Amino acid sequence: MRVLLLARNADLPEAGLFRGLRDAGISFHLTGDLRSPYVATLQKEGFNVEHIEYRSRIDFHAALRLRRLMRTGRFDLFHAFDNRPLTNGLLASFGLPIRKIGYCGTLGHLRRWDPAGRLSTLNPRLDAVVCLSKAVQEYLISMGVPRRKTVVIHKGQDPAWFVAAPSAPLSAFGIPNGAFVVGCAANMRPVKGVDVLLKAGMKLPQNGFIHFLLIGEVRDPGISRLAADPALRSIVHLTGWRADAPALLGQCHAVAAPSLHSEGFCKAVTEALAQGVPAVVSNVGGLPEQVLHGQTGLVVPPGDPSALAEAIQFLADHPDDCRRMGAAARHSVETRLHIRETVAATIRLYKNLLAGRPLE
């Protein structure tokens, strides 16, 4: 089996997958943008990484390089991890005997007859699409992708990745000792529902016990206005983008993902679960697949500040239950959401595809 991996700006789970494939003896050639920290790290570790920059959705220079690779490398399949590599990989593979695997991790971004979608995830030439969650799988099927071409493979994590991760102390953000801290890491767009989280904060007792650590770029101007409200300004802490976001989440007592309409699978939630931090999430997309209600956290209706406030207050008032859910959260990642499960499922996909067997 010879595999061509088409990455772009790889993240930590993708880098973990590549290491796992190597350790399992899978023969592959990795392409990616060496300006990405994780791709550059893989090269330093001895991976043979070929730098390819995709300047646009259709980049004829990149597609020509990929076609040369496909023709000379005699690959059995290519696996793309981003839309730009996927579109250019499909363009490069015309007429070549190579199986084609795409990826989809989000909901609500496709239109059945949108040319951009037909050039990538909805392209009928794809042999398989890796779906980040069951919710994403059902979404793609609703867009016309045959179920037999879809397979659910979660982006796994490893608790060991976070054991010695450097991080600033929460006190650096003005959070007092003894506070119950709820973390939220996201690019704060309206769809992420961070405004709902802040409105939930207004419904909690104004005693300064529960604090909110908001990590990420604020793209919704309403967030800053809400955070400046007298009821919130002393308990809401905006950090901006942080390279140590996962480690900061690991210091929180709970994390929140209050997404409103869609969420394929929230990486920040899995990072927190891996560190033994329970989550409060809305009942949308793949979030209920990540967080088992009453076991590894709590699931609440989307857009409901009262329900969100009640869930947060429960965890703050019941430290034993909070610790129990945190321990179960870590165990959940160590078993069903571990990177080794991602590696095993990916290898199974490759073998099934090449053997003509059902993908799942």
Q: Which residues contact 88 (CB under 8 A, 6 or more apart)?
A: 6, 54, 58, 59, 62, 63, 66
> What is the predicted pLDDT for the residue at 10?
87
* Average pLDDT, integer, range 228-256: 95
Is residue 110 scored above 80 in pLDDT? Answer: no
> What is the predicted pLDDT for the residue at 131?
97
Give me the phi and psi of 181, to 5 degrees please.
-110, 125
Is residue 207 scored above 80 in pLDDT? Answer: yes
Task: Give residue 165's pLDDT band: very low, low, confident or very high (50, 70, 90).
Answer: confident
Specify the amino acid at residue 220.
D
Question: Pseudo-torsion of CA 302, 304, 307, 308, nearest 10°?
Answer: 70
Q: Which residues contact 130 (CB under 8 A, 6 or more apart)?
A: 79, 101, 102, 103, 104, 151, 153, 346, 349
Is residue 174 scored above 80 in pLDDT? Answer: yes
- Please say whether the beta carbons of 156 and 339 come within 8 A: yes
* Average pLDDT, integer, range 243-261: 94
Q: Set out the domains of the chain in order of their start, with CATH numbers.
A: 2-156+338-355 (3.40.50.2000), 159-335 (3.40.50.2000)
Give me the phi and psi of 163, to 5 degrees please.
-60, -45
Tens digit of each residue's pLDDT (9 = 90 or more) over 265-314: 999 999 999 999 999 999 999 999 999 999 999 999 999 999 999 999 99
Is residue 177 scored above 80 in pLDDT? Answer: yes
* Average pLDDT, integer, range 223-230: 92
Question: Quick one: DSSP state of residue 103?
Answer: E
* Average pLDDT, integer, range 185-211: 94
- Please say whether the beta carbons of 293 and 182 come within 8 A: no
Question: How many angstroms separate the most distant Cα atoms in the chain?
Answer: 67
Is residue 164 scored above 80 in pLDDT? Answer: no
Closest listed residue to residue 105, CA positions, set 145, 146, 133: 133
- Please say whether the beta carbons of 275 and 331 come within 8 A: no
Question: Quick one: DSSP state of residue 188?
Answer: B
- Please say whether the beta carbons of 44 and 18 come within 8 A: no
> What is the predicted pLDDT for the residue at 9?
87
Tens digit of each residue's pLDDT (9 = 90 or more) over 118-137: 889 999 999 999 999 999 99
Closest listed residue to residue 193, CA positions, set 231, 225, 233, 220: 220
Closest listed residue to residue 161, CA positions, set 71, 79, 259, 270: 270
- Please say whether the beta carbons of 100 and 125 come within 8 A: yes
Residue the block writes with tokens 């965890």: 315
Rg (CA), the chain: 21
Closest listed residue to residue 313, CA positions, set 261, 260, 358, 254: 254
Q: Which residues contact 329 (CB under 8 A, 6 or more apart)?
A: 272, 273, 274, 276, 277, 278, 279, 291, 296, 297
> What is the predicted pLDDT for the residue at 115?
79
> What is the predicted pLDDT for the residue at 108?
78
* Average pLDDT, integer, range 92-101: 96
CA angle 185, 190, 192 (to 5 degrees): 35
pTM for the full predicted model: 0.93
Tens digit of each residue's pLDDT (9 = 90 or more) over 308-326: 999 999 999 999 999 999 9
> What is the predicted pLDDT for the residue at 236?
97
Give me the phi and psi of 261, to 5 degrees please.
-120, -40
* Average pLDDT, integer, range 197-221: 94
The alpha carbon of residue 141 and the mean position of all alpha carbons in its chain are separated, in whole angstroms, by: 21
Lowest-confidence pick of 72-76, 108-112, 125-129, 151-155: 108-112
> What is the predicted pLDDT for the residue at 112?
79
Tens digit of each residue's pLDDT (9 = 90 or more) over 41-67: 999 999 989 999 999 999 999 999 999
Is residue 71 scored above 80 in pLDDT? Answer: yes
